[in-house]
Amino acid sequence: MNFKGNFKLIYKLDWYIIKKFLGTYFFSIALIIAISVIFDYNEHIDKLKDAAPSEVLFDYYLNFIPYFASLFSPLFVFIAVIFFTSKIADGSEIIAMFSTGVSFNRLLRPYMLSAAFIALFNFALGSYVIPVGSRTRVAFTNKYFERNTSSLSASNIQIEVEPGVIAYMQRYEDYNNTAYSFSLDKFEDKLLVSHMTARTATYDTVANGRFHWELRSYNIRNLSGNKEIITKGLSLDTVIKLEPSDFLVTEKQEETMTSPELRKFIARQKERGVGNVTDFQIEYNRRISMSFASFILTLIGVSLSSRKRKGGMGLYLAIGLGLSFGYILFQSITSTFAVSGAMSPFWAEWLPNIIFVPIAIYLYFKAPR
């Protein structure tokens, strides 16, 4: 009977803490989002008045909200834990829990369950929901905020179209979908078997589907042993497994791709020998590391604020804000190192977690038992 009573007490305790944690977290996020929307609307009111109300609401702000919710999530995980844990500690509720035989480790269980929910929620949001919404949001800002984030041109592009086939173009202009001084080399067993050049190559999918290119002033040399067959012409419609999106990268494009799309894009670009995919690797690793951070920040928050002290929760909130801002700042610095090539994208995104784990462990052992 005693055992059942204790079990029921702990079960209620779990739900009590989970509701407090998640309730405070989502309320804090909602509050900061409301403030952000107000400031953003005041900043862009002159430009937003040109758009239809439905566009402003559904195309912009409906996709603005989850983006900033994910951005502020680590900060408010910390604040939520410290705020409500300090409050129940000041009310001697944690002391009462310990007096009934609840250990600190047992007390952590509902916190970690809540952190797991937030981690999965943010991972799903950042990996699948926000990227899709960002496409609409970016299109809206390009249209009404006069931001052109597209790469209008690229030069000296060399890319592997498929195994053994290398394309090169001196310049590509996005406005007319045309590559200038285009060449395509085919190799078999490291020997050149075909060399094609064209004054221009224009990408056209309207009538002929994907990978269709129209070559102008072309020259094809097919090599077989000592024989060489040359074919020339003014115009040639051909299929080349190459698209402008393979080498033209728009600003913040990585934010508009889901995690599976990012993974495939990175692998494809590496296979093709395309230069820099650092921004895409940073974004891919950031989504995972930021989700995992919920556990670390929750452990730090509980360990800091579970002790009743004089002065209330002010000190805990100050420490929590300092640590959470330090985490975000440190992550920004390491991301910069990755962009500059001084650090790999994986370590750049995971190093803040690695640094904060010992802090969490130290505070965990210092927490009241």
Q: How confident is the model at residue 3 (pLDDT cuts 50, 70, 90)?
A: very low
Question: CA–CA separation, 284 vs 245, rounded Å?
Answer: 19
What local confidence, expressed as pLDDT, does residue 311 receive? 57
Q: What is the mean pLDDT of the chain?
A: 83
What local confidence, expressed as pLDDT, does residue 347 receive? 87
**pLDDT 10s digits, 148-197:** 545 566 788 888 888 888 899 998 888 888 999 999 999 988 888 899 99
Nearest to 201 by CA among 221, 223, 187, 219: 219
Which residue did the predictor score with more confidence, 132 or 90? Answer: 132
Q: What is the pTM of this model?
A: 0.75
pLDDT at residue 226 greater than cutoff 70: yes
Beta bridge partners of 153: 173
Please, are residues 215 and 238 in contact by the beta-carbon 8 Å criterion?
A: yes
Q: How confident is the model at residue 6 (pLDDT cuts 50, 70, 90)?
A: very low
79 CB-near residues (< 8 Å, 6+ apart)? 28, 317, 320, 321, 324
What local confidence, expressed as pLDDT, does residue 137 receive? 86
What local confidence, expressed as pLDDT, does residue 5 receive? 43
**pLDDT 10s digits, 277-333:** 888 888 899 899 888 888 988 998 888 887 766 655 666 667 767 777 787 788 778
Query: What distances in angstroms separate CA 5 from CA 10, 165, 197, 322, one per listed residue?
Result: 9, 72, 83, 41
What local confidence, expressed as pLDDT, does residue 92 receive? 79
